[in-house]
Amino acid sequence: MTDTASGAPAVAHFRFFTFEVLRTLRLGHSFLRVTFGGESLADFRSGGYDQSLSLFLPPAGQEHTVLPSTDEDTWFASWRGMPEAERPVMRSYTVRGQRRTDEGAVEVDIDFVLHGDSSPASHWAGRAVPGRRILAIGPAVAANKSVRFQAPATADAVWMYADETALPAAAAILERLPESAAVRAWFEVPHEDDRLGLAAPAGAEITWIVREDGGPKRSERVLEALRAAEPLAAQAPYVWLAGEAGTIRAVRRHFVQERSVDRRSVRFTGYWRLGASEEQLLAEAYAGKAPSEDPASEL
């Protein structure tokens, strides 16, 4: 590719990487961290915050991911054309962390939510052992469009909501905020043991919403917690919301309509939707039917 303005080769923001499992660490009842390495990660450039990437997980019975093509122009058609039983499962995840070891190797952490074998990702992660390899489409430059958290310099507070699927992204955001940042966050998790210890600015106030005790449906439970909070003191807050799509809509409406937050200051992402598989959501996205994440879009 060529930059038409300058005539110089354009920079590819994303490309395929080979991720090799180095080790795993159980973080809580529902969370497992998988640490990956591999020579190709020398060119991996996470932009931090809620940096996302696409993982290709091998079908049951296969140890490693194999694709017929990793060429940027042909991989998608080749992947879609594979027999369903042989096609690797594509899933979106957050880069929980990236670092360089004392020996100069690059390691990448990805946190998985475990819920048995009810999803391909949980099934794979629960059986991940050192040496297994998967493919991923990830960032080759740090300034890329898959980092959605973009708080303006004028923001005087950060307000957050995340369920367990978005907690790794929220945790990565908190770690990168300045120590003086005013933070108010609500994190929803399935079990008491999922209340993870998080690095955050000194004054951050975090409310954990635990679902294991039954009670109202998830959106109502979250709204109850939000409405129970004292008035939030900020003139220009930046709001970041991620998790189940229906709950995100309700939470966004709360901040815009009940707390009078400018909708342009709300960044929201539906990571999943009750009653829909990721294959359905992926098909909708490629068909142009996915809901807009534009902060200025209508409620």
| CATH number listed for the domain at residues 157-286 | 3.40.50.80
Q: How far apart are CA 112 and CA 204, in angstroms?
A: 25
Q: Is 241 helix (H, G, I), strand (E, B) or coil?
A: strand
Give me the tens of pLDDT residue by residue for the chain, a chain 299 residues long: 444 444 444 558 999 999 999 999 999 999 999 999 999 999 999 999 999 999 999 998 889 999 999 999 999 999 999 999 999 999 999 999 999 999 999 999 999 999 888 789 999 999 999 999 999 999 999 999 999 999 999 999 999 999 999 999 999 999 999 999 999 999 999 999 999 999 999 999 999 999 876 555 778 889 999 999 987 889 999 999 999 999 999 999 999 999 999 999 999 999 887 755 566 656 555 555 555 555 544 43
Using only the alpha carbons of the chain, give its radius of gyration: 20
Its pTM stands at 0.88
Q: How far apart are CA 296 and CA 281, in angstroms?
A: 22
CATH ID of 14-139, from 3.40.1160.10, 2.40.30.10, 3.40.50.1220, 3.40.190.10:
2.40.30.10
Task: Indicate where the chain has its CATH 3.40.50.80 domain(s).
Answer: 157-286
Task: Indicate where the chain has its CATH 2.40.30.10 domain(s).
Answer: 14-139
Look up residue 81 and give its DSSP letter.
T
pLDDT tens per residue across span 197-211 = 999 999 999 999 998
